Structure 1
């Protein structure tokens, strides 16, 4: 018997196509993007279980990255606590009360705090819990201008475009103030640096959820327009890898 019959030659290795180096380069180049899309996609698929939409992001650098600081300048009043309206949001110390118009005044009355806005009146506890909100016919006629305090059975004073009115702490009836009484008007103050930081924290705490951050990472928007293009390019690369890899695996190998 010949040596060739007893020692058969090993099968010849299939020749790789010319695009094979690109298959490797694209796979390695976009590996991190592929993993990121996979991980964030799994997280988004379990949004409810992970409570991503209800949990605020704690990292302050992320808020700076998203530029979520309130716009404009705050309107603040000191009433044994900070009452602030800033960029359409009303806060009491670090407690968010809700969307609001301009703040006209804030003052402490007995065990409650009274906050006057351009279209309604808030009555809250010192802890920031809402007792009641008054608007429309529950307020004196005219557009509110400022809030004040006086002594006597009707200590709450509001100046409107129609005149000056006062009421007791039940706010049941507003009557024109016809007698001259000393009124201490609430004047706006400048927020301290610490107070400004507290209000910004209140704004930020309600504006950025984990769902938004993970969704932006998944789509690439977290990194701006460049990130979107990178994710789009990775999708094209993945399609190329899938098609070429499948073709290479299924092609007929010839001896």
Structure 2
């Protein structure tokens, strides 16, 4: 008896089956990941992912987020009041981004007051910005320090100024006693605060969005998503071909 060689169709099926399985496993894992991350993103508000801070140092390093270096703690309780560069933080909430380096922050008459070299910022006790003063509103320029002695005081290059009770007018004058200028607390744990601020700049919702879209992997990300799409296309085509070739003869005849 002569041995019958398998036809081209049989050879092709033998080649397609293992590749169909491999591509299926690969694409299934990626599709599951995309589906799960998509569900998490859709419910990020309910899961509090939009406010959950990333505390893993390696992930913060990957995003290029560095801890601020110019940390000053002005108050520890009942709420932590911190300046970091041109920012002011109330506990873990960013409440102000000043025009330049923040020189001092203090509580005053149920408000929070911050100054940089040319602006004074008035905020509510909850951190809402109420008013910004500058030279156009009569604020003395070239501020060096902020003081508190019944009224607010400013030390500038041209002298000392005191505000009225409504914080509208500033008058140049000489104090009767030494002014207690606002200074940062000594022996405060600046390193811990710096890490808290660093963590607050990245939330898990952003990480999931970047993973879901492929942006997390940089320039390789779009190619990865393209590879997933191509895998699904190949799987669909090879699956349809294998199914059609394995259909019973009666079904195929009925189609004809």
TM-score between the two structures when normalised by the length of structure 1 = 0.71
Alignment pair present for 1:241 and 2:246: no
Distance across 2 between alignment mates of 1:138 and 1:130: 20
2:163 to 150, 161, 167: 167
Partner of residue 3, structure 1: none
Deviation at 1:104, TM superposition (A): 0.9
Partner of residue 55, structure 1: 50
The RMSD of aligned alpha carbons is: 3.6
Deviation at 1:77, TM superposition (A): 4.5
1:73 to 69, 74, 81: 69
Change (3 A) 1:208 1:122: same
- 8 Å CA contact retained: 1:122, 1:134: yes
- 8 Å CA contact retained: 1:106, 1:113: yes
Partner of residue 9, structure 1: none
Change (3 A) 1:129 1:147: same
Deviation at 1:231, TM superposition (A): 3.9
1:32 to 29, 34, 56: 29
Greater shift in the superposed pair: 83-92 or 170-179: 83-92
Partner of residue 141, structure 2: 142
Is the partner of 1:84 in helix, strand or coil? strand
Change (3 A) 1:251 1:80: closer
Give unmatched runs, 5+ long, in structure 2: 1-8, 250-256
Distance across 2 between alignment mates of 1:148 and 1:182: 10
Distance across 2 between alignment mates of 1:27 and 1:250: 18
Deviation at 1:36, TM superposition (A): 0.8
Partner of residue 97, structure 2: 99
User: Alignment length, in residue pairs?
Assistant: 233
- 8 Å CA contact retained: 2:83, 2:105: no
TM-score between the two structures when normalised by the length of structure 2 = 0.70
